[in-house]
Amino acid sequence: MSIIKGNAWRYGANIDTDALAPIGSYAGATNIEAGAVHCLRDMDPNFAKSVKTGDIFVATDNLGIGSSRESAPLFLKTLGIRCVVAKSFARIFYRNCFNIGLPALVCPDSRDIAMADVLKVDTSTGEIVDETQDKSFHCQPIPDHLMQIVDEGGLMPYLEKKLAKSA
């Protein structure tokens, strides 16, 4: 069981990878910290400055549309985000989240979560407790094959273990 507690950064629909990882900021792919400060700069310049470790990123429809660039979820993780919640995800972004060790939860009612709400997320059951609103939200449970990757902390540690076993 893994509980993540933090503040919600709640945004709307269609947040694309050009917004999350603007071109130019991700050219320095080997310097993720330097790129991450540009995350959402055109949409909410306050985000990268103020987000804290343990915070939770909440969006409505179609989070992560656009490019396959992994820097989009990686910037969120680097800035401290520990879980992303959305009503729906773009498929490559969704996979990228798990691969880099950032659990992604599909929450049909994510729009009812408000900016800065204090959330307690249980990634193993998909349950979100919104302490500010004193309310619960139910997410689709993370599929088993992805839970294995979540448990290892991402695809890299998962592969390390798997390859070591088969060696």
Contact positions vs another protein (CB under 8 A)? 14, 16, 18-19, 22-24, 27-30, 42, 61-62, 65-70, 88, 90-92, 95-96, 99-100, 143, 145, 154-156, 159-160, 162-163
Shortest Cβ 145–another protein spacing (Å): 6
Q: What is the DSSP letter of 43?
A: T
| Cβ contacts of 106 within 8 Å, gap of 6 or more | 86, 87, 88, 89, 139, 140
Alpha carbons 165 and 26: distance in angstroms, whole number: 34
Shortest Cβ 147–another protein spacing (Å): 12
- Considering the complex, state which of residue 14 and residue 133 has its C-beta at the smaller distance from another protein: 14
- Considering the complex, state which of residue 10 and residue 95 has its C-beta at the smaller distance from another protein: 95
- 11 token code pair: 């945004």
Shortest Cβ 160–another protein spacing (Å): 6
- 58 token code pair: 């909440």
Element of type H or E holding 15 = none
Q: Residue 43's closest CA among 75, 61, 21, 62?
A: 21
Alpha carbons 167 and 161: distance in angstroms, whole number: 10
- Considering the complex, state which of residue 20 and residue 121 has its C-beta at the smaller distance from another protein: 20
Amino acid, res. 17: T
Shortest Cβ 11–another protein spacing (Å): 14
Shortest Cβ 89–another protein spacing (Å): 8
- Considering the complex, state which of residue 42 and residue 134 has its C-beta at the smaller distance from another protein: 42
Q: What is the DSSP letter of 133?
A: T
Alpha carbons 116 and 8: distance in angstroms, whole number: 5
- Considering the complex, state which of residue 84 and residue 119 has its C-beta at the smaller distance from another protein: 84
